[in-house]
Structure 1
Amino acid sequence: MKVYPECLPCFLNQVRKTAKVAGLSDEKTIEIEREVARFIWKELEPDKSPGHNATFVHRIFKKMSGIKDPYKNLKDKYNSIALKLEPFLEEEIYLKAKDRLAAAVKLAALGNVIDFAVPSSFDLEREIKEFFQTPFAYFDEAILERFLVSGKETLYIADNAGEIVFDKFLIREFKERGLKVTLAVRGAPVLNDATVEDAVSTKVSEIVDAIVTTGNDYIGVNLEEVPEEFKEAWKRCFFVISKGQANFETLDGIYDKDIFFILKAKCRPVAKELSCNLGDLIFLYNKHLLDIKERNEEAEEKS
């Protein structure tokens, strides 16, 4: 995926949002925004993904603010809220589901959607139940079933703190079917992305076979920069689960590995790349997406 025009103001908006979370003054925020604007003007790489370019935006923020992990308190809060919800998710959603694999996939997607800032647990539980009535634009469960072969391995690339608790159910499904699961998290803090610390504090680390990291604070996955342990897990795995927009942005276009994307299309550029509507829920096999793109190209050529 490449940069779209609306990605540019989004980069600046990310600076403002992060500055607010970090409690920076307006003066300091403007100073950082000016430096990010200079980066956009002179150093932006339009042919690279939004996640790739956003990585440098957040490195500028961290360098100029002196704050290495501005979302630390928020991540801890979201992990705590998600852990309190976990018994409800298990007892009222997962264990009552007729199709537990489908429920586990939907719970993983829910983690990418839910607003942890909702004021009460009652409101969150209501929001969760309403979510399960929402249709997905793509739901490639039947294709996933073909990959659930006992003894095989999957690489599960996590997205955010808090959300990682919702991933437990799909990881458990894989384990119960005899698969090995390697969890991948960010190698250093960036935004509210999950790190090893989050995997340990939420006890996700206790249900996977191994944990690898992306090696640094790159937003998404840069296969050229990941450490050797990640490369080995990538080569070894039978298929990949990719959570969230940034991982999609940076892994879109890779077809020599079987990848399942789980996310919500939260902006127009991502929705366009996925051939779906803004706000749609997605569980999509990458080679299914390739077929969709090829059909769209053929239709455009004929029109």
Structure 2
Amino acid sequence: MKITDSCIDCLITRVQLECGLVGADPRTTQETMDSCRNFLLSLKGAHLSHPQIASRIHHCAYDLLKNPDPFHELKDQGNAESIAVCKEVRSSLVTFRDFVLASVIGNTFDYGVKGHTVTSNFAGFFREEFKKGLVIDDTDRILPRASRVVYLSDNCGEIVFDRLLIHYLKSQGSHVTLAVKARPILNDATLVDAKMLGLDRIVDCLTTNCDGAEIGFCPEEAPPVLSEAIFRSTLIIAKGMANFESLFERNDLPPVAYLMAAKCQPVANEAGVPVGSKIALLRA
């Protein structure tokens, strides 16, 4: 997917949030936002996807703010909240659809998307969203393809629910390769986060989606172990909007299951659902 004017506003809103998270003063905040907006406008005509452009903007902001991980505290908070909720709901999750839905609800841990807020009462929010179910539900078609899975993760908080889904896949005999970020960007889960949650002891292979920190996923930048896993896979599970934006228009991949909440209008339009919809969409 390509960048739109609404994407520009959303990206600058996230830069403003990052300034707030590191305690930047008003002058530094304005200078950082102006620099990032000018850089963003210079990239608007480039042959880059929205996630690739967003990655460059956030790296620019981090350099200007001299902080490599503005979301550090929010990531820890998201994981802690999710662990508490998982303890409450784990016994009620039975079917593959249940675990997928829980994982998709976890995808709402996404800070700085314009018009989207992360709830302060996640336990109550989880129960209400679970009752609503999935707007697109391809879970009956997804599970039979899950013998060898490449799992592209997204956010902290969310990855705690991913852990439940991965546990289920493993119980069904799936081979799972999990890809996370090598270094911090936004509140995305990193190798450090995955190991802290013990995912390295659950999956068959834990790797990164590239050598640096990129939003979404570009297969051409994957490390060799991940490229080999994709080549051998029967299914890619792609969590979140950035992975959707990165891969949805490609036709050179194994079947892809997009698990996400559609939190903005451009992504919702592309998926053919209302904003806020939770989906498990298979492209085979």
TM-score (norm 2): 0.92
Per the alignment, in what secondary structure is the counterpart of residue 19 of structure 1? helix
Q: Which amino acid aligns with 1:78?
A: G
CA distance in structure 2 between the partners assigned to 1:180 and 1:199 by the alignment: 17
Q: How far apart, CA to CA, are the structure 1 residues paired with 2:256 and 2:169?
A: 15
Gaps of 5+ in 2: 111-116
Where do 4+ consecutive residues of structure 1 move more than 6 Å? none
Deviation of 1:226 after TM superposition, in Å, equals: 2.0
Q: 2:281 aligns with which of 277, 281, 284?
A: 284
Partner residue in 1 for 2:56? 56
Match of 2:3 in 1: 3
Measured in 1, the distance between the counterparts of 2:189 and 2:195 equals 10
1:277 aligned partner, one-letter code: P
In the other structure, the counterpart of 2:269 is 272
Secondary structure in 1 matching 2:220: coil
What is the match of residue 134 of structure 1? 132
CA drift at 1:139: 0.5
Letter of the 2:133 partner, please give it.
Answer: P
1:202 aligns with 2:197: yes
**How many percent identity over aligned positions?**
30
Tell me how far apart the structure 2 counterparts of residues 41 and 262 of structure 1 sit (CA, whole Å): 30
Match of 1:238 in 2: 234
Structure 1 residue 189: deviation in Å? 0.5
Aligned 8 A contact 1:259 1:286 in 2: yes
Q: Given the alignment of the two structures, is residue 173 of structure 1 paired with residue 164 of structure 2, yes or no?
A: no
1 CA distance for matches of 2:41 and 2:202? 45
Write the deviation string for residues 223-252 of structure 1: whole angstroms up to 9, x where unpaired: 222222221121121110000011111111
Measured after TM superposition, the shift of residue 44 of structure 1 is 2.6
The answer to whether the aligner puts 1:81 opposite 2:85 as a matched pair is no
In structure 1, runs of 5+ residues without a counterpart are 288-303
Q: What corresponds to 1:294 in structure 2?
A: none
Matched to 1:9, the amino acid is D
- Asked if the contact 2:241–2:261 (Cα under 8 Å) also holds between the matched residues in 1, the reply is yes
Q: 1:20 matched to which residue of 2?
A: 20
1:82/1:162 contact within 8 Å kept: yes
1:155–1:181 CA contact under 8 A, matched in 2: yes
Provide the secondary structure at the position in 2 that maps to 1:167.
helix
- Distance in 2, matches of 1:263 and 1:126, equals 19
Aligned pair in 2 of structure 1 residues 207, 45: CA closer, same or farther (>3 Å)? farther
2:114 aligns with: none
Distance 1:139 1:45 in 2: 35
1:222-233 equivalences in 2 (<5 Å): 222-233=218-229
Q: Is this contact kept in 2: 1:159–1:194, CA < 8 A? A: yes
Deviation at 1:205, TM superposition (A): 2.3
Equivalence for 1:69: 69
Superposed, which structure 2 residues align to 1:95-174 within 5 Å? 97=94, 100-113=95-108, 118-119=119-120, 123-148=121-146, 152-174=147-169
CA-CA distance at 1:46 after TM superposition:
5.5
Aligned partner of 1:44 in structure 2 is: 44
Distance 2:41 2:166 in 1: 42
Cα contact 1:75–1:162 (8 A) shared by 2: yes
The answer to whether the 8 Å contact 1:155/1:234 transfers is yes
Deviation at 1:56, TM superposition (A): 0.8
CA-atom RMSD in angstroms: 1.7
8 Å CA contact 2:78–2:109 kept in 1: the answer is no
Number of aligned pairs? 276
How do 1:255-270 and structure 2 match up within 5 A?
Answer: 255-256=251-252, 257-270=254-267
Judge which range, 58-67 or 131-140, deviates more: 131-140
The residue type paired with residue 191 of structure 1 is L
Larger Cα Rg: Structure 1 or Structure 2? 1
The alpha-carbon deviation at position 40 of structure 1 amounts to 2.2
- The code of the aligned residue for 1:207 comes to I
* Contact kept? 1:189, 1:195, Cα under 8 Å: yes
Deviations 1:132-168 (A, max 9, x none): 11132210012113214xxx31011111011100012
* Displacement of 1:47: 4.7
Distance 1:124 1:40, change over 3 A: closer
Give the direction of change, closer, same or farther, for the CA distance of 1:46–1:280 in structure 2 (3 Å limit): farther
